[in-house]
């Protein structure tokens, strides 16, 4: 039983290896560069998000609220 998806992946892998001359070092460098570019694209903030959302997304809303509270007000 043949799986079409597996066959497509194998064909793509073979085409890439042929394009890079079956050189393991070149394949490795290509994979690293591709991965780095993908990770960089994931880290870049979306141009459609507001600056507050893009920059403060790592903090919870509670932390931001506590940070804004004046120090002379008791909790």
Domain count, the chain: 1
Asked, for residue 32, whether it belongs to a domain, the answer is yes
Q: Is the pTM of this model over 0.85?
A: no
Asked, for residue 59, whether it belongs to a domain, the answer is yes
C-alpha–C-alpha distance, residues 43 and 1, integer Å: 41
Domain containing 32 equals 4-68
> Tens digit of pLDDT for each residue in 5-48?
999 999 999 999 999 999 999 999 999 999 999 998 888 676 66
Contact 24, 32 (CB under 8 A): no
Residue 66 to residues 63, 70, 72, Cα–Cα distance (Å): 5, 9, 12
Asked, for residue 73, whether it belongs to a domain, the answer is no
Asked, for residue 44, whether it belongs to a domain, the answer is yes
């Amino acid at each position: 039983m043949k799986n079409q998806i597996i066959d497509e992946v194998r064909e793509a892998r073979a085409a890439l290896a042929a394009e890079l001359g079956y050189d393991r070092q070149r394949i490795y460098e290509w994979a690293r560069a591709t991965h780095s570019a993908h990770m960089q694209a994931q880290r870049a903030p979306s141009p459609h998000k507001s600056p507050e959302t893009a920059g403060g997304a790592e903090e919870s809303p509670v932390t931001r609220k506590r940070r804004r509270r004046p120090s002379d007000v008791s909790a």
